[in-house]
Amino acid sequence: MSAIQIKIRKALLLAATAVAIGAVTGCHKKDSGIDTSALAPAPAASAAAPTASITADPLAIDQGQSVVLNWRTQNATSVTIDGIGPVNNNGTQTVTPTNSTNFHLTAKGDGGSTEANVRVTVRVPVAPTAPSSNISETDMGSEAAFHQNVQDIFFDYDSYDVRPDAASSVSQAASYLTSHPAIKVVIGGYCDDRGSAEYNLALGENRANAARTALVNAGVPASRLRVISYGKEKQFCTEENESCWQQNRRAQFSLDR
């Protein structure tokens, strides 16, 4: 090999080596350094908003009675109820309001505040009116006047519901008994002769109690009324027809002496 060929071969070898070195170093990306964004603190999560509810049992009372307040909250750091002050986040409390009151609850927390309300109605008794001068505490009235004003009421077959057509009789009877507070009444329940004696005794009692309830609802004190069932034992009419049976299906009012 000539000297010229040796020189050319060395030159080619050096060039190939340089290309190889450049290829190796070119495969690596330049190091960009540390990502500073990764070192920043994570954003804080927003706090949950508080929730609250409040109930009262019962919602309506007579003056002097008590109710139980029951409240529940979540995500609250402080809870207050107007008229009571700071309270636990969850709890109950017995209160005795003297008049109708709206119990207002406020719950506060890192996520804000919320409110809840419940209203308790207090029934204030009405002062009784003075009795009319024409009402006597001992006046029993006559038996004829009693039966004229306190009339029997009648029922449908196999029923002890007070019928709408008895409303005026109940109202008149209650008015008369209110103006004669000394009168006490026995209410007899009667049935027609169909059905067993046991069944009709129960039905007669239900009819007498239904009449008693109607008078109580109309303002007559329950202590003045007594009930008794005669079932089908004492018939007012003995004919076997609807007109006769209707007379026997009744609640009869008598002076309780």
Residue scoring higher pLDDT (43 or 221): 221
Specify the pLDDT at position 22.
53
Residues 56 and 157 reside in one and the same domain: no
Give the mean pLDDT of the chain: 84
Quote the domain boundaries for residue 119.
Answer: 51-123
User: Tens digit of pLDDT for each residue in 239-252?
Assistant: 888 889 888 899 99
User: Tens digit of pLDDT for each residue in 117-157?
Assistant: 999 999 887 766 555 545 556 667 788 899 999 999 999 99
| Nearest alpha carbon to residue 210 among 169, 173, 163 | 163
In a domain, 15, yes or no: no
- Structure-block tokens of residue 83: 């008229």
For residue 233, the SS3 value is: coil
CATH number, position 83: 2.60.40.10
In a domain, 204, yes or no: yes
For residue 21, the SS3 value is: helix
pLDDT at 26 over 90: no
Residues 75 and 115 reside in one and the same domain: yes
Q: What is the mean pLDDT of residues 108-118?
A: 94
CB 193 within 8 A of CB 248: yes
Specify the pLDDT at position 137.
62
User: Tens digit of pLDDT for each residue in 203-224?
Assistant: 999 999 999 999 999 999 999 9
